Amino acid sequence: MTRPIIFTDLDDTLFQTSRKLPGSSGELKVMSYTKDNGPSGYATERQSRILSWLGAKQVIPVTARSREVLSRVNISQAPAICSNGGCIITSSGDVDAEWHRYMALLQTRHERIPDVYPELTGRLDETDFRHWIVYEKELPLYIVVKTNLEGDKHLDPVEDQMREAKPYGWRLHRNGNNLAILPPWLNKRSAVERLLAQFRDLDPHIPAIGIGDSHSDCGFMDLCDLAATPTTSQVWKLLQKDNEWCS
C-alpha cells in the first residue's frame, strides 16, 4: 500500500516552547535547539506518540523556519519546505535551485524587501523589539518582528502599525510573540503545490494530508485530501467559535 504524503507545520503543531506547554503529565521530548545547542522546543508524551505514528509515513515539514533554523529540529528534513515557502529542500537534501530562481524572479516584480524593511521597522524601539529579514542563500524572503518585553500583548500595537504601513498586497501573520510581514509572492501553498505535483506525476492517486495550526497553514492544507489541526490552534479556535456542537 502506498504511504500517504503528510505536509506538516512544526512549531505549535507537533511541538512547542516550554512557555506554551499544555498542562499534561508524562515525559517531554526535546524537539528543537537554540544556536548554542540548548533545548528550545518540546513534545509532550501524546505528541511524541503522534510523531512516532507520523514517522511511518512520508512526512514533509512545511515551516516558517529558515533552512538553518530547521536544521536544529529533531525531525526528517528532506524533502522540506522552509521560510514560509521561500525555500524547498529536495529529497537529496539540496536546495531546489529552480524554485530559488523563481522566488528571485518574483521578487523583482514587487517592492524590494531591503527597501521596505527600514520603512517598517525604523521607528521601533530597539530595546523593546528585535527584528530582522529572513534570507535563504542571500535572497531576502520576509520580515520578522518580536518583542523583548514580558507578554505577547506588547506586540499588539506593532501589529496594528504594520497593518497600516505595509505595502499593498503584503500580508501579516501573527502567532504569539512572532509577527511576520510577507510579500505577496511568498506563501507555503505555492511550495506545497510544487512538491505535491512532483509526487503526483509519479502516482496521480497518492493521498495527501495537511497538518497545521495557524491561519497561514490553511493555504497548503487546502491542497490536501485531508486536513488536521491541534485543538489548541488558531484554526481550531476559528472553527469552534459559535459552534453549538462544541459545548
Q: Which of 106, 132, 9, 120 is nearest to 65 (CA)?
A: 9
Same domain as 122, residue 87:
no
Tell me: do 34 and 78 sit in the same domain: yes
- Mark which of 130, 157, 182 sits at the end of a domain: 182
Do 77 and 39 have their domain in common?
Answer: yes
> Rounded CA gap, 81 and 242, in Å?
34
171 and 147, same domain (yes or no)? yes
pLDDT grade for 175, boundaries at 50, 70 and 90:
confident
- Mean pLDDT lowest among 32-41, 198-207, 238-247: 238-247
- Where a domain ends, among 182, 200, 216? 182
pTM (whole model) above 0.85: yes
Residues 232 and 209 grouped into a single domain? yes
Q: Is 145 helix (H, G, I), strand (E, B) or coil?
A: strand
Region 224-236: mean pLDDT is 94
Comparing 151 with 195, the larger pLDDT belongs to 195
Of the pLDDT bands very low, low, confident and very high (cuts 50, 70, 90), residue 177 is: very high
Where does a domain end: 162, 182, 202?
182
Domain assignment of residue 39, given as a range? 5-103+187-246
Instruction: Classify 98 as helix, strand or coil.
Output: helix
Q: Is the domain of 17 the same as that of 94?
A: yes
> What is the pLDDT at residue 24?
62
What's the pLDDT score for residue 21? 86
Per residue in 138-151, pLDDT (tens digit) is: 999 999 999 999 98
Q: Are residues 146 and 35 in the same domain?
A: no
Chain-centre distance of CA 81, in angstroms? Answer: 9
State the total domains in the chain.
2
Nine-digit cell string for 74: 529533531
Asked if residue 56 has pLDDT above 90, the reply is no
114 backbone dihedrals φ, ψ, rounded to 5°: -60, -25
